[in-house]
Chain A
Amino acid sequence: MTVFKYFLKIALKNKWIIIMYISIFFVMTLLNSTDAMKREEAFEETRLNIGIIDKSNSELSSSLKDYLKEKNNIVATKEDEEYIKEQIFLEIADAVIIIPEDFTERVIEKEEAIIIYKDDRKPHSIQIENQINKFLAFANITYQNGQFALGDVKEALKENTQVHVLSKSGFFENSSIETWFRYYFNFTGYVILAVYIAIIGIVMSDFRDERIDNRRKISSKKLLEFNKEIYLGQLTLAIAVTSVFIIASILLMGRYIGHIYYIKYLINLMVFSLSILCLTFLINNITRNKHVITTLSTVLSLGSSFISGVMVPQELLGEKVLLVAKFFPVYYFVRINDAVINSLSEVAFELFMQVLFAVAFLLLGLMFSKKAQRI
């Protein structure tokens, strides 16, 4: 077990890099999942901060204002384009609308009747447009003989649709907790990719300096034996990294674990870790250039996470993107985390795919390793 022992020794020498990587990525994971939990409040329209400048002062404009006030917070503003843009930039206001003097006429003519400045950085800001369009459409429907029936509009808009989230075996009683775990583990997927490739790569490139490698080639150690011990070393390192994230999830949210299907996340993360470990093994057999390895760590992890639904939910991604994403194990990992299931058999396919990736990476890795036997 010399190889294994020295692999760990070199890993230990690099402990500060490893600790630094893990802690920075951990902070990112935590910020991301905590934020997601707060963000995803199902079916509740977010109250936005909006500014209104009413130059029309008509009946229609004031009832529109009343309607918007019900659903949003009003902030003071003034009619100066630069001022408004600055307000939005500084996120004092999510949107500012200007109601022009000829507002009523324009509405009746079904023309653009309101000027809006909104914060494009926030997807929510679109809802203010929807609210205005809906209100004015309703108002126009009631327009008859030069009169709006604004009272009726108000009454009608009070109607709402309630949403009942189906819960089975109580999993969904606490949907924001579920959200936290989902985002936490999805993001952990990105971290595992980035950290495994980076730190195992660093240790490996220290370990397999070309000259040392040639020495190994002529030693009596069998290639398979050598690979086995190397793999064991990498596995140990990988387990250490993954454990940090599992243990942290238990420490932080342990009291809720009973309410969710925790074992799903656990098994999924383990299977995913395995497939990424095999990917790392493959990468290390293809190149020992440190620049390439650090680049791959960033490009592969960020790139495949982006298109697989770690940063942006899968349902928001187009079909073509997901088609590309299917060639990366992260896709299947995220699908399992996102799925609502009662037993693991429901995600057997996704688990199987990850294992398949693991086997493919491993075999390719062994192939390259064998090829590298001859210079």
Chain B
Amino acid sequence: MNIIRNYIYQGKNLFRDGTFLFWAMVYPIILAFFFNLAFSSMMNVNFDDIQVGIEENNYIFPILEEIEFINIHKITQDQVDEKLFNEEIDAFVDSDLHLTVKKSGIRQTIIKEVVEQIKQTVKLNRPIDGTEFSVNYVAGKNQESNSVIIIFYSLIAMVSTYGVFAGIETASLMQANLSNLGLRINATPLKKQNFLIAGVIVSLLLNLLANTGLLLFINYVLKIHLFTNIAYSLIFIILGNLLGVILGIFIGVSNKKSPNVKTAIAISLTLFLSFLSGMMGPWIKAIIEKYAPFLNRINPISIITNNLYRINLLGNTKSLGEGIAVLLIYSMVLLIGSYVFLRRKSYDSI
């Protein structure tokens, strides 16, 4: 049997399916675009028009007036409630330098910091020339990074497992009870393990291609540089791909549910694991770290996210073994599981 030939045809079959291509390639790119839109703006958000209400006779009135990002509203005590509720002002500073606000948020926190610092400076009672507070005494030792990057690692981890869809497709072609084509192929002398291996390799290559597209997009279009250590990062991306494809085959062969159900299982599973790994906000990962740290160590998407972070931002490549081991164990177990389902080669019903 000419195995290479088989690969090429299976590849052609998967690759020519326009919707599949869209699913694999364009979809992660659109998501990356949205993520970048949301998070990059979050990082350079500037609060240059914080509205502060204050009585004219307050002694810090002139100081606040000097601060560029604060807009002063001269108001009287009895206007406070109304102005706050109409959102004309974010906070009101009273004569004791305490604040009244309607809600708590970043703007309010900034005003609080400012007022508190003025209060403390006054208490200190030394002459200042205003330059003192612009000195930075702290030298950061982190590589250039921010939480956007972590979200992107999470996104990459998620899409690396998207080989799951190609896996499901391959499984349905292999099973006589799942598709007409499967029936036909089962009647040929093509050995199942050959078809399985061809399916895994082709799906793997396709999804890696899609991943490469995403990485190029992030790197050259969004100009976010995620990787300092490509080789080690690739290990995890490839392991994610492998796990994804095998998971897809497992989902595909382990039950007789419709393709709809299988795709739904794959989507909700990967989405949920990504959510737990912090894709929709890093705090979810933190809360899991606090209450169920074990989950982060067994969630494959978390493992990939964390290790990409560790490799590229912390420059740590020493303790990758555990992650690699867990991912390989998952892949092996699912592969053996799939094989067990596949081994029963005559079907109860077709």
A binds B: yes
Report A's interface with B, CB cutoff 8 A. 14, 16-17, 20-21, 24-25, 27-28, 31-32, 35-36, 38-40, 42-43, 81-82, 85-86, 88-89, 91, 97, 106-107, 110-118, 120-123, 129-130, 132-134, 136-138, 140-142, 152-153, 155-157, 159-166, 168, 172, 175, 198, 202, 206, 289-292, 294-295, 297-299, 302-304, 306-307, 311-313, 315-318, 320-321, 324, 340, 342
Residues of B within 8 A of A43 (CB): 104, 108-109, 112
Residues of A within 8 A of B1 (CB): none
| Most chain B Cβ neighbours within 10 Å, of A136, A290, A321 | A321
Task: Identify which of A40, A120, A166 contacts B102 (C-beta below 8 A).
Answer: A166
Q: Is the CB of B120 within 8 A of A40?
A: no
| Most chain B Cβ neighbours within 10 Å, of A14, A39, A123, A311 | A311
B131 to chain A, nearest CB (A): 9
Q: A25-B268, A164-B101 are in contact. List 4 more A-B contacts (CB 8 A).
A: A27-B272, A85-B316, A115-B139, A303-B33
Residue B282 lies at the interface, judged by CB distance under 8 Å to chain A: yes
Q: Is the CB of B123 within 8 A of A141?
A: no
Q: Is the CB of A165 within 8 A of B104?
A: yes
Task: Identify which of A42, A86, A120, A318 contacts B142 (C-beta below 8 A).
Answer: A120
Q: Is the CB of B101 within 8 A of A165?
A: yes
Q: Given A164-B99, A168-B85, is A17 in contact with B264 using a C-beta cutoff of 8 Å?
A: yes
B146 to chain A, nearest CB (A): 6
Q: Is the CB of B38 within 8 A of A311?
A: yes
Q: Is the CB of B101 within 8 A of A166?
A: yes
> Across chains A and B, which 5 residue pairs bring their CB atoms closest together, nearest first?
A318-B41, A42-B104, A303-B34, A291-B19, A156-B124
Residue B275 lies at the interface, judged by CB distance under 8 Å to chain A: yes
Task: Identify which of B45, B103, B106 contacts A340 (C-beta below 8 A).
Answer: B103
Q: Is the CB of A312 within 8 A of B38?
A: yes
Chain A residue with minimal CB distance to B113? A130
Residue B23 lies at the interface, judged by CB distance under 8 Å to chain A: yes
Chain B residue with minimal CB distance to A129? B138
Using an 8 Å CB-CB cutoff, how does the interface string of B18-33 with A read, 1 for contact, 0 for none? 0110110001001101
Q: Is the CB of B260 within 8 A of A163?
A: no
Residues of B within 8 A of A118 (CB): 140, 142
Residue B280 lies at the interface, judged by CB distance under 8 Å to chain A: yes
Using an 8 Å CB-CB cutoff, how does the interface string of B31-71 with A read, 1 for contact, 0 for none? 10111011101101100000000000000000000000000
Residues of B within 8 A of A132 (CB): 137-138
Q: Is the CB of A290 within 8 A of B41?
A: no
A188 to chain B, nearest CB (A): 14
B226 to chain A, nearest CB (A): 13
Residues of A within 8 A of B103 (CB): 165, 172, 340
Residue B147 lies at the interface, judged by CB distance under 8 Å to chain A: yes
| Most chain B Cβ neighbours within 10 Å, of A116, A134, A294 | A294
B52 to chain A, nearest CB (A): 12
Task: Identify which of B31, B128, B257 contacts A303 (C-beta below 8 A).
Answer: B31
Residue B117 lies at the interface, judged by CB distance under 8 Å to chain A: yes
Q: Given A165-B103, A166-B100, A316-B106, is A120 in contact with B117 using a C-beta cutoff of 8 Å?
A: no
Chain A residue with minimal CB distance to B288? A31
Residues of A within 8 A of B267 (CB): 198, 294, 297-298
Chain A residue with minimal CB distance to B132? A137
Chain B residue with minimal CB distance to A199? B264
A195 to chain B, nearest CB (A): 10
Q: Is the CB of A318 within 8 A of B44?
A: yes
Chain A residue with minimal CB distance to B121? A156
CA distance A302 to B34 in the complex (A): 8
6 example contacts (A-B, Cβ-Cβ < 8 A) are as follows: A16-B257, A89-B309, A137-B137, A160-B119, A166-B100, A306-B37
Q: Given A121-B147, A303-B34, is A157 in contact with B314 using a C-beta cutoff of 8 Å?
A: no
CA distance A180 to B121 in the complex (A): 37
CA distance A340 to B85 in the complex (A): 8
Residues of B within 8 A of A290 (CB): 259-260, 263
Task: Identify which of A91, A115, A142 contacts B141 (C-beta below 8 A).
Answer: A115
CA distance A24 to B269 in the complex (A): 8
Q: Is the CB of A38 within 8 A of B287?
A: yes
Q: Is the CB of B147 within 8 A of A123?
A: yes
Residues of A within 8 A of B135 (CB): 110, 133, 136-137, 140
Q: Is the CB of B107 within 8 A of A302?
A: no
Q: Given A121-B282, A317-B45, A318-B42, is A24 in contact with B268 using a C-beta cutoff of 8 Å?
A: yes
B218 to chain A, nearest CB (A): 16
CA distance A24 to B270 in the complex (A): 11
Task: Identify which of A17, A97, A303 contacts B30 (C-beta below 8 A).
Answer: A303
Q: Is the CB of B20 within 8 A of A142?
A: no
Task: Identify which of B42, B115, B278 contacts A161 (C-beta below 8 A).
Answer: B115
B242 to chain A, nearest CB (A): 22
Residues of B within 8 A of A155 (CB): 123
Q: Is the CB of A20 within 8 A of B265?
A: yes
B116 to chain A, nearest CB (A): 4
Residue B205 lies at the interface, judged by CB distance under 8 Å to chain A: no
B281 to chain A, nearest CB (A): 5
Q: Given A116-B140, A160-B116, A312-B39, is A35 in contact with B126 using a C-beta cutoff of 8 Å?
A: no
Task: Identify which of A134, A165, A291 contacts B22 (C-beta below 8 A).
Answer: A291
Chain B residue with minimal CB distance to A18? B264
A121 to chain B, nearest CB (A): 5
Residues of A within 8 A of B265 (CB): 20
